[in-house]
């Protein structure tokens, strides 16, 4: 499995276009934020001190949540390409079990998601610092890395199930485009969740990657929130947290970090099991 995963990593990073398109939605979000969303959001909070640091941290958290989805999706393109070119038939004719090859695809996609997410973390931290913000503390950095591992593990399972239905690169490319376009909306990045209709808010809150975004925000915005709201009534702070999706409320229930972690782990278990079931019933 390890050797096959290494092969997949080499194939992925050798294809510069695959790497680029796996991060295309991230580049779109950065572009929208740099030319439109950033200044608009900052202007919406004129009374909040250090609003730029706060908003930068918010968008950085969202980018990490998105990267763990799109990078993983791009990495699974290798599996689809192998299928479309019938390369998998050569693999399956070997004495190695099919489950080993499937595990190799999954593991390599997971590694790609982690690598690209950590790279994105370094870049967004650099951006925050040059704009006057503070770098994450050692403990916060470790928490973010742990969340990257958890988020990528969960998103990897969902993408694995999705790609198990595809055999052609055209169909996969169409699905990748749709996901890359919608992921920013479904995780509450393009428009703050508090500014959406209630029905749309529930869609976002029940979309598993949104729990990743929620956890990333709670860690990455911690310092900025303390700095900006130290002299502000708690009610104002709570409203702001709900507006930007730093806190999720479902009726009278406030989503806790442990609940979000349980959702991500449960999502991973369910989708991995479904993906294995789908693949086991395929003849090729």
Q: Any idea what DSSP says for residue 259? A: H
Q: Comparing 102-111, 207-216, 266-275, which segment has the lowest mean pLDDT?
A: 102-111
Q: Rounded mean pLDDT of 208-214?
A: 92
Q: At what angle do helices 2-14 and 77-84 cross, to 10 degrees?
A: 90
The rounded distance, in Å, linking the Cα atoms of 152 and 117 is 9
Rounded to two decimals, the pTM is 0.89
How confident is the prediction for the chain on average, in pLDDT? Answer: 84
Task: Report, as an integer, the average pLDDT of 251-265.
Answer: 91
Please identify which residue in the block is written with the tokens 């690598």: 115
252, 206 contact by CB (below 8 A): no
Residue 214 CA, chain-centre distance (Å), reads: 11
Q: Band the pLDDT of 41: cuts 50, 70, 90.
A: confident
How large a percentage of the chain has pLDDT more than 70? Answer: 91
Kindly report the backbone phi and psi dihedral angles of residue 69, in degrees, each rounded to the nearest multiple of 5, phi listed first. -90, -55
Dist. CA 229–CA 225, nearest whole Å: 6
Question: CA dist 248 to 67, 77, 123, 143, 255, Å?
Answer: 21, 33, 27, 20, 5
Q: What pLDDT is recorded for position 141?
A: 94
Burial 80-116 (b: 16+ CB within 10 A, else e): bbbbbeeebeeeeeeeeeeeebbebbbbbbbbbbbbb
Mean pLDDT of 56-85: 87
Number of H helices, E strands in the chain: 15, 2
* Confidence at residue 55, expressed as pLDDT on a 0 to 100 scale: 86
153-169: average pLDDT: 89
Residue 158's pLDDT is: 93
Provide the pLDDT for residue 91. Answer: 63
Range ranked top by mean pLDDT from 32-36, 179-183, 254-258: 254-258
Whether 283 shows a pLDDT value over 70: the answer reads no
More confident residue, 212 or 232: 212
Helix (H, G, I), strand (E, B) or coil at 194: helix
Would you state the pLDDT for residue 258? 95
Per the CB < 8 A criterion, the answer to whether 224 and 50 are in contact is yes
Predicted confidence at residue 219, as pLDDT, reads: 95
pLDDT bin (cut points 50, 70, 90) of residue 94 is low
C-alpha–C-alpha distance, residues 73 and 55, integer Å: 27
pLDDT exceeds cutoff 90 at 128: no
């Amino acid at each position: 499995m390890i050797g096959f995963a290494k092969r997949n990593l080499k194939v992925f990073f050798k294809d510069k276009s695959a790497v680029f398109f796996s991060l295309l939605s991230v580049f779109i979000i950065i572009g929208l934020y740099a030319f439109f969303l950033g200044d608009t959001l900052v202007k919406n909070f004129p009374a909040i001190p250090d609003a730029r640091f706060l908003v930068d941290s918010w968008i950085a958290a969202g980018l990490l949540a998105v990267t763990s989805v799109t990078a993983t999706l791009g990495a699974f393109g290798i599996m689809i390409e192998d299928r479309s070119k019938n390369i998998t038939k050569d693999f399956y004719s070997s004495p190695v079990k099919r489950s080993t090859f499937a595990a190799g695809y999954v593991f390599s996609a997971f590694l790609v998601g982690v690598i690209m997410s950590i790279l994105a973390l370094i870049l967004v931290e650099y951006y925050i610092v040059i704009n006057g913000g503070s770098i994450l503390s050692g403990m916060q950095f470790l928490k973010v890395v742990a969340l990257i591992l958890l988020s990528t593990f969960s998103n990897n399972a969902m993408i694995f199930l999705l790609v198990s239905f595809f055999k052609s690169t055209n169909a996969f490319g169409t699905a990748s485009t749709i996901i890359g376009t919608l992921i920013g909306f479904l995780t509450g990045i393009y428009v703050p969740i508090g500014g959406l209709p209630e029905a749309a808010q529930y869609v976002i809150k029940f979309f598993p990657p949104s729990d990743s975004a929620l956890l990333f925000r709670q860690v990455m915005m911690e310092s900025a929130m303390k700095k900006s709201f130290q002299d502000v009534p708690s009610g104002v702070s709570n409203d702001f947290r709900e507006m930007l999706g730093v806190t999720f409320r479902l009726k009278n229930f406030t989503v806790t970090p442990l609940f979000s972690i349980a959702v991500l782990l449960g999502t991973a278990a369910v989708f991995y099991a479904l993906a294995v079931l789908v693949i086991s019933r395929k003849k090729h």
